[in-house]
């Protein structure tokens, strides 16, 4: 008995010791995490670009808005006060929002918008994400000027998985209209035609040297000879994929959408709206000034696009000063042709996760979703000349699986779901297109007009989901950046033409597929993604070309609560906005 007691005592001591170690490790883990509080005041601010001053909607009077810098594990509390004339929400693009769907932000999906004069505090924790994300308005076209960066560094004391850079720079690529963007989309909604394209692209809000009245404010990025710097690039443009390069310099890509990737080298990036890319550059060129440049990747044949080039300057600190009165020389950058799909595809196919991933091999939900444009017949009582200015007297629309998504207007889908409010949405989004057709070939005109409705797809907690996103050639084929809220997903493969499960499944990368929150579906092609539905709430999946989401290129997943508190949505906040 004494031997038994001694053994039990030793066993208990060992368990107690390891228990203390476990508690200490968790204490140290959470001790480094902080709660950050910020205030965003949304207001009208006069801003001069391209020789003209416009009153635009900003956050804290800044364009672009303030950059939030956090460490992984930190909690953010951001009070947003709307002093603008428009209803508004803020979306924290790419943040997983584990159990905090009330803070995701898309209007009428997770919340009613903030009315003028109203406030709401978004509360969420950054969990398991490092790198670059961003935030933006998620109401109509307000994100044309209401956006900013979200930089997530490793926990304090935890290094980057690459040599620590000497300095970091954040470059936000945007679009600028010599008009009120809200008026631009309002007019397009009235006419049923395509909206006017932007007048210029911007880098950190500045058009750059090639645009009128702009050169004195061009963004300058410093570098020293021999140093390696981290540049975080965000495509915050409303409606355009963008090529990005720096004259005479190579990029080592190390991250995308707040996930690390296997490093690879390239001279050009292609980012769809919503996507972020982290790159290392080395000061290995003769000290001088080098153009940083971005312009459109325009994949839609025949569609109008902004063909301007925006610039910033990479400036070596030891660059020689020009002779007195002589112009400052900046070396020119070379960008791909506007329609260079080969370069765009080579870039997107280069991504791999930094390590082997734990990928669900069995799939519970296998969806095939067509994404693309469409046309609505002119309504019987409409003035055709004024209200149906799409092709052949129609109105532009868009859809997924022939379902054109309509936002509710009196309550959000998440509220309707949790409060049992009927008639707001239906749970019948189709698992596949109602009619099979040659998706990227000649499509019968009878399939060009989708059905409108607020249709969502329900998912059980923990369901393993695979989605084939299939582009179509209806009206015109183009590259669609598809963004899923509340989740990161693995991109297993992409290709051109119609997805063929008999042959294309063999192309799946099941070892180290990249983890993203926004996938570029190739022009007249397909992309396959996979994720586990382990975050309860209502999560919109939509094209991040804002004109397309307004036309209905979206759906939403309703993910049920699981078992217990840790698998369930948090309670609705006390200050939650009401319609």
pLDDT exceeds cutoff 70 at 15: no
CA geometry: angle 421, 87, 545, nearest 5 deg: 90
pLDDT of residue 328: 81
pLDDT tens across 154-188, in order?
A: 999 999 999 999 999 999 999 999 999 999 999 99
Residue 451, number of CB atoms within 10 A of its CB: 12
Secondary structure of residue 155 in the 3-state scheme? coil
Give the pLDDT band of residue 27 (cuts 50, 70, 90). Answer: very low
pLDDT of residue 389: 96
Q: C-alpha distances in angstroms, 530 versus 130, 469, 484, 487, 492?
A: 20, 11, 11, 10, 7
Sheet hosting strand 119-125, strand order edge to edge: 52-59, 35-49, 75-82, 119-125
As a whole-number percent, the residues of the chain with pLDDT over 70 amount to 94
pLDDT of residue 31: 56
pLDDT exceeds cutoff 50 at 20: no
Residue 14, number of CB atoms within 10 A of its CB: 10
| Averaged pLDDT score across all residues of the chain | 94
From the list 38, 66, 85, the residue with the least C-alpha distance to 205 is: 66
pLDDT exceeds cutoff 70 at 114: yes
pLDDT exceeds cutoff 50 at 19: no
Q: What are the phi and psi torsion angles at 300 (to 5°)?
A: -85, 115
Of 395 and 360, more confident: 395
Range of lowest pLDDT (4-18, 310-324, 545-559): 4-18
pLDDT tens across 460-476, in order?
A: 999 999 999 999 999 99
Q: What is the pTM of this model?
A: 0.93
pLDDT tens across 319-351, in order?
A: 888 767 677 899 999 999 999 999 999 999 999
Instruction: Please tell me the distance from the alpha carbon of residue 98 to that of residue 416, in angstroms, as a whole number.
Output: 20
Mean pLDDT of 364-388: 95
pLDDT of residue 327: 75
pLDDT exceeds cutoff 80 at 195: yes
From the list 558, 491, 487, the residue with the least C-alpha distance to 522 is: 491
Mean pLDDT of 564-572: 97
């Amino acid at each position: 008995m004494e031997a038994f007691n001694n053994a039990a005592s030793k066993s208990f001591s060992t368990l107690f010791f390891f228990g203390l170690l476990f508690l200490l490790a968790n204490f140290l883990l959470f001790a480094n995490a902080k709660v950050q509080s910020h205030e965003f005041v949304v207001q009208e601010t006069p801003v001069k670009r391209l020789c003209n001053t416009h009153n635009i909607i900003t956050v804290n009077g800044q364009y672009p808005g303030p950059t939030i810098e956090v460490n992984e594990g930190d909690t953010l509390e951001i009070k947003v006060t709307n002093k603008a004339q428009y209803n508004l929400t803020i979306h924290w693009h790419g943040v997983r929002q584990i159990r905090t769907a009330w803070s995701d932000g898309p209007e009428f999906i997770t919340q009613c918008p903030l009315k003028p004069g109203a406030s709401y505090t978004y509360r969420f924790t950054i969990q398991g994400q490092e790198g670059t994300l961003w935030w933006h308005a998620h109401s109509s076209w307000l994100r044309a000027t209401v956006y900013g960066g979200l930089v997530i560094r490793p926990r304090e004391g935890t290094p980057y998985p690459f040599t620590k850079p000497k300095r970091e720079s954040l470059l936000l690529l945007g679009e600028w209209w010599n008009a009120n963007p809200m008026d631009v989309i309002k007019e397009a909604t009235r006419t049923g035609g395509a909206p006017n394209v932007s007048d210029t692209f911007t880098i950190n809000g500045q058009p750059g040297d090639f645009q009128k009245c702009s050169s004195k404010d061009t963004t300058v990025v410093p570098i020293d000879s021999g140093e390696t710097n981290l540049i975080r690039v965000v495509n915050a443009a409303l409606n355009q994929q963008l090529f990005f390069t720096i004259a005479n310099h190579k990029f080592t890509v190390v991250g995308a959408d707040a996930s690390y990737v296997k490093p690879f080298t390239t001279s050009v990036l292609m980012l769809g709206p919503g996507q972020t890319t982290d790159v290392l550059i080395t000061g290995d060129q003769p000290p001088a000034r080098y153009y940083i440049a971005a312009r459109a990747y325009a994949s839609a044949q025949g569609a109008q696009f902004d063909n301007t080039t925006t610039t910033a300057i990479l400036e070596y600190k030891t660059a020689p000063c020009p002779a007195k009165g002589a112009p400052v020389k900046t070396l020119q950058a070379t960008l791909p042709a506007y329609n260079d799909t080969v370069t765009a595809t080579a870039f997107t196919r280069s991504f791999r996760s930094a390590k082997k991933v734990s990928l669900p091999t069995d799939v519970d939900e296998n969806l095939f979703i067509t994404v693309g444009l469409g046309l609505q017949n002119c309504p019987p009582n409409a003035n055709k000349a004024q209200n149906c200015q799409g092709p052949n007297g129609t109105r532009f629309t868009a859809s997924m699986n022939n379902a054109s998504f309509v936002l509710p207007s009196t309550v959000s889908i998440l509220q309707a779901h949790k409060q049992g409010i009927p008639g707001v949405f239906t749970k019948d989004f189709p698992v596949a297109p109602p009619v099979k057709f040659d998706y990227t070939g000649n499509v019968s005109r009878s399939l060009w007009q989708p059905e409108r409705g607020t249709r969502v797809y329900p998912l059980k907690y923990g369901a393993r989901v695979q989605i084939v996103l299939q582009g179509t050639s209806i009206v015109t084929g183009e590259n669609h950046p598809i963004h899923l809220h509340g989740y990161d997903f693995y991109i297993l493969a992409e290709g051109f033409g119609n997805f063929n499960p008999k042959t294309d499944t063999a192309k799946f990368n099941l070892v180290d597929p990249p983890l993203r929150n926004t996938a570029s579906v190739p022009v007249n092609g397909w992309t396959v993604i996979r994720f586990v539905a382990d975050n309860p709430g209502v999560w919109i999946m939509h094209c991040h070309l804002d004109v397309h989401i307004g036309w209905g290129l979206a759906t939403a997943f309703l993910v049920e609560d699981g078992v217990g508190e840790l698998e369930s949505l948090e309670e609705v906040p006390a200050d939650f906005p009401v319609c």
